Structure 1
Amino acid sequence: MTKQVQWLSDEEWSWMEPLLPRGRRGAHRFDDRRVISGIVHMLKSGARWRDCPSEFGPYTTDCNRFNRWRRQGLWLRMFEALTGHSGIFGGAAIDATHITAHRSAAGAKGGPSPKP
């Protein structure tokens, strides 16, 4: 069974590619499509960045680009490009309902226990 290296379809990639930053100086850039796939994989799995499979490139690259693009607001722009909606809503409701329960209401046996 082979691992899924590309999380984005060609159509999704064609919408996202123009939004990515270009012309940065420095070391040779690792493939953006693989880096984004690595970021999606790590966010889906919930694992730490250090455990990112090597198929997605160096874990430091994935982590650094995720954080840099988050600060630049790039993820929000990509979300809008893919869904057509910003994902930001004007209002929200918070429910603070709670129920007071006895300390042994969770199923603990109450009272003295018989000794054998």
Structure 2
Amino acid sequence: MDRTMLRDDQWARIEQLLPGKKGDPGRTAKDNRRFVEAVLWIMRTGSPWRDLPKELGHWHRTYVRFARWREKGVWERVATALQGDADMEHLFIDSTIVRAHQHSAGAQKKAGQQEIGRSRGGLTTKLHVAVDALGNPLRVILSAGQVADIEQAAALIQDQPAEFIVADKGYDSDAFVESITTQGSQAVIPPRSNRLNPRSFDRHIYKSCNLIERFFCRIKQFRRIATRYDKLAASFLSFIHLACTIVWLA
């Protein structure tokens, strides 16, 4: 394949975070780079696994390996390992809706809740995200599309030592603001228009909320994330973790 995604310097940053390196049990990691490029190709194009180019490996073996790394938490672990350089002056939280393709429905009931719900847009999944002061991702939570943003707010900021936590008025809740204050942060959340005693907030800091919107735009350049095709929430979340890794490597 002439068109690959990872530069040599980017690969060097994650190579030792992947399974199969010297000292690990099992097979060697000599083809890890080609395998990661294969998964990136699937994520970028939104193609079915069966359409994977032969130069990137056999589609079924590639999928099985992707699923194995998913179950072991490899994709999330790599994304988390790159967060050491996070700028925690500001923490921005928000959510975005992802349309679920009809092929994403129909997971077996024994697999549990797959975070696909119905809203005015049809079948949808919602991504609840927290990013740092530079717009780099720190936490992603999946929910069904109809779930309110405030329901995942506490989980997004838990153990995140930011000086300011910034969100839109959808997160304007006395209980949530109190939880922000309790953990030693300052809330920058505009009040709802129906508040009898509107709370003041730092408008200058709030103007930087576009950082999280820009993050959403970046990861939705990957067609496998702009539209959900995966039946399993764990598979879809693995692609999101991989997209977050690419953002950190940029």
TM over 0.5: yes
Deviation at residue 87 of structure 1 after TM alignment: 2.5
Cα 1:77/1:61, change in 2 over 3 Å: same
Q: Which has the larger radius of gyration?
A: 1
CA drift of 1:86 comes to 4.1
| Superposed CA RMSD | 2.8
For residues 45 and 16 of structure 1, do their structure 2 counterparts lie closer, same or farther at Cα, with a shift above 3 Å needed?
A: same
Partner Cα separation in structure 1 for residue 42 and residue 62 of structure 2: 9
* 1:70, distance to aligned residue in structure 2 (A): 0.7
Does structure 1 residue 87 correspond to structure 2 residue 89?
no
TM-score by length of 2: 0.31
Query: Unaligned 5+ residue runs, structure 2?
Result: 85-136, 142-154, 158-169, 172-250
Is 1:7–1:37's contact at 8 Å kept on the other side of the alignment?
A: yes
Q: Find the counterpart in structure 2 of residue 70 from structure 1.
A: 70
Change (3 A) 1:73 1:8: same
Q: Which residue of 1 aligns with 2:11?
A: 13
Structure 1 gaps, min length 5: 95-116
Q: CA deviation at 1:43?
A: 1.4
Identity of paired residues, percent? Answer: 32
1:30·1:57 contact (CA, 8 Å) conserved in 2? no
Q: Is the Cα contact below 8 Å between 2:80 and 2:138 reproduced in 1?
A: yes
Spell out the pairing of 1:1-116 with structure 2 (5 A cutoff): 3-4=2-3, 6-22=4-20, 23-25=25-27, 31-84=31-84, 86-88=138-140, 90-91=155-156
Give every structure 1 segment of 4 or more consecutive aligned residues whose post-TM-superposition deviation is greater than 6 Å: none
- Residue type of the alignment partner of 1:55: E
Post-superposition shift, 1:82?
4.0
Q: Does the CA contact (< 8 Å) of 1:12 and 1:82 recur in 2?
A: no
Cα pair distance change 1:46/1:75, threshold 3 Å: same
